[in-house]
Structure 1
């Protein structure tokens, strides 16, 4: 039966039903998502090629009768956590509500049902990229990894002569890009926050751009042991009537490397392309040392630092137990989870791992703030100062800083 939901703005009742999406409803829910995100309508031809990346599995729709008015989608993947462990996770890849049904409880019910499903299937974490950051905190997601947007001036920017120089870079044909890059990505070492890219991810997020009908270029770095890095980019023209000789901009979409040498080789390649005025890259790791690699660091400008990944602990005990911690005396976290109340409780975290405990709390926080702390992007000190963590024992804050910190900044680096 449809579920009546009060409209908080005008007090009316709107009936809708939230249920799993069927195979016959894949196209209509995908079109709904596109309209809610103001995307162009997908043609029949494109749907025939890329609809495989929108399976019915793990999708929940809000329906008014047979008409979809909201969608919450995810796909199963895995994520690397501090210490190198890999945990199964739900990647939330599409959430939207029809414009005339917003602010009537549709999104809240969709997210509630989706989280209950993720928990029932035993996935300890859920992750997403937020189109509107103010939405997802109330559903337990926290901004867990940041990324920076950089712009490197060409031809002025030059790599320092001490930057490693080894290996070679080759450009792939579109057919080679479709065939070779998935395996290379899965061979590259992963830092905390990086996720697996399942088969359904590649057709629409890579092949559509870099394959035979795409307009992106793919180059691969090869070292002594074979291929060890790749970059995907497009060329954006800057020519105009006022500036007919303005060089193009290389817009980097995807750059992953298995070592500092491979990363340096890929950036050396990008900075060597002729007739280019700048290289622009969004959502790069905040600790990528590109400016230090240049003879003049001012030629690499950081234009923005923004959220790169949001994380939601779905099974707090399993998530805390899966990562490692640095050497410090344990702290006890009191976690509150309003949507998944089984997570609410006290957890002792220390160098030997994490477990539930009946001990008094040192630090108190909501589950969304735990998502911010989990990968090591935010320190406990910063979260206390921001009012997101309450410290019952001030000495515990420094201990938590040491326990949760990571050497490499967390980073996702995958669009979904």
Structure 2
């Protein structure tokens, strides 16, 4: 299940392991597979579908668009550490092997839906960390932060075994608040025999540089697409999402694969509903296909950005300004879960 702007949680198909055998490529099998899946999802009540793409050029033709982005970071471990006024609350403890699976699983699904794009996992997702703890080639630490109201964050990190200074790699980290996240980062940077801490798939708005005494110790090594989203049921998806309180915007949506999604949608007063079929007497002020709509749906991209780069078509410039206000979200969307 996935959180969307406004706090609603929607049933979502987590699409993974898509592939065609090497001796059967270029025969249209992938297209047939993806289309059959889309036809199967709507009757099951899955309003959205999401995936992580191995190649960026594959999934747009099936209506998927980049809905969240994430960054990779590297933080040098130095004696300067955190700023003196940076939050320093609560305690961090390492979990025992028996806790590695159950404690993060329960904690994640309690705090998972606090920002758009985040999804629930369940305990079975945490099998890999439990298995990592048994490996001989890497040291694994799984830690939990406890604040004034109980456990509110966890981190999974690994490092190559050995005595020389080496990088500590953050594999998974979630926290219920910026203060809990700060405590987990402080803990990681205090681990001995570590040269630096690296992390991938982190949210774009994580204020790590504001915590460090030396902000130049943080290097953003990449910003990449994270979650690709497909609106399987556009009327239901738009009805579930909250919008800014604006004067009406008439948005035309095209969907060649699921034609029932096509139409003119009226966005106004915080809600959206379909009011006309495409080609009817009510003309849209803005138009896009379903993949371009996915790019704005969680709040990652502004309609004005998408219009300026050719993803959205604008017939009424004043409506574009209202669309920006309607789709704006107070927090950057992020998934934070690989599947």
Q: TM-score, normalised by structure 1?
A: 0.77
Q: What is the DSSP-based 3-state SS (H/G/I as helix, E as strand, rest coil) of the residue aligned with 2:220?
A: strand
**Is residue 175 of structure 2 the alignment partner of residue 252 of structure 1?**
no
Q: What is the DSSP-based 3-state SS (H/G/I as helix, E as strand, rest coil) of the residue aligned with 1:317?
A: helix
Cα–Cα, structure 1 residues 284 and 157, in superposed 2: closer, same or farther, change >3 Å? farther
1:263 to 155, 167, 181: 181
Give yes or no for contact 1:175–1:212 (8 Å, CA) kept in 2.
Answer: no
Distance 2:14 2:166 in 1: 34
Q: Tell me how many residue pairs correspond in the alignment.
A: 332
Q: Which residue in 1 is equivalent to 2:337? A: 414
Q: Which residue in 1 is equivalent to 2:279? A: none
Once the two structures are overlaid, the 10-residue window that deviates more, 306-315 or 293-302, is 293-302
**5+ residue gaps in structure 2?**
277-281
Give yes or no for contact 1:167–1:265 (8 Å, CA) kept in 2.
Answer: yes
Deviation, structure 1 residue 276 = 0.8
Cα–Cα, structure 1 residues 95 and 333, in superposed 2: closer, same or farther, change >3 Å? same
The answer to which structure, 1 or 2, has the higher relative contact order (CA under 8 A, 6+ apart) is 2
2:146 to 213, 222, 239: 222
Distance 1:230 1:410 in 2: 20
| 1:378-403 Cα shifts (integer Å, max 9, x gaps) | 01111011100000101111111111
Give yes or no for contact 1:174–1:212 (8 Å, CA) kept in 2.
Answer: no
| 1:339-389 Cα shifts (integer Å, max 9, x gaps) | 111101111112331101123211110100011010000011110111000
Cα–Cα, structure 1 residues 226 and 199, in superposed 2: closer, same or farther, change >3 Å? closer
Give yes or no for contact 1:178–1:211 (8 Å, CA) kept in 2.
Answer: no
Deviation, structure 1 residue 260 = 1.3
Cα–Cα, structure 1 residues 350 and 369, in superposed 2: closer, same or farther, change >3 Å? same
Give yes or no for contact 1:147–1:285 (8 Å, CA) kept in 2.
Answer: yes
2:217 to 281, 299, 305: 299
The structure number with the bigger radius of gyration is 1
Q: What is the DSSP-based 3-state SS (H/G/I as helix, E as strand, rest coil) of the residue aligned with 1:134?
A: coil
Deviation, structure 1 residue 149 = 0.4
Distance 1:199 1:262 in 2: 22
Distance 2:185 2:80 in 1: 11
Q: Which residue in 2 is equivalent to 1:399? A: 322
Give yes or no for contact 1:177–1:211 (8 Å, CA) kept in 2.
Answer: no
Alignment map for 1:67-78 (pairs within 5 Å): 78=1
Give yes or no for contact 1:111–1:139 (8 Å, CA) kept in 2.
Answer: yes
**Is residue 96 of structure 2 the alignment partner of residue 96 of structure 1?**
no
Distance 2:253 2:270 in 1: 20
Q: Which residue in 2 is equivalent to 1:177? A: 100
Deviation, structure 1 residue 150 = 0.4
CA RMSD of superposed structures (Å)? 1.7
Once the two structures are overlaid, the 10-residue window that deviates more, 274-283 or 179-188, is 179-188
Deviation, structure 1 residue 199 = 4.3
Distance 1:168 1:198 in 2: 25
Cα–Cα, structure 1 residues 287 and 338, in superposed 2: closer, same or farther, change >3 Å? same
Q: Which residue in 2 is equivalent to 1:118? A: 41
Deviation, structure 1 residue 201 = 2.6
Give yes or no for contact 1:217–1:232 (8 Å, CA) kept in 2.
Answer: yes
Give 4+ residue runs of structure 1 displaced > 2 Å after superposition: 198-203, 205-216
Cα–Cα, structure 1 residues 210 and 409, in superposed 2: closer, same or farther, change >3 Å? farther
Give yes or no for contact 2:244–2:270 (8 Å, CA) kept in 1.
Answer: no
Give yes or no for contact 2:102–2:123 (8 Å, CA) kept in 1.
Answer: no
| 1:218-272 Cα shifts (integer Å, max 9, x gaps) | 00000111111000010136x7xxxxx8511110010000011111110010010
Distance 2:77 2:121 in 1: 33
Q: TM-score, normalised by structure 2?
A: 0.94
2:56 to 121, 133, 139: 133
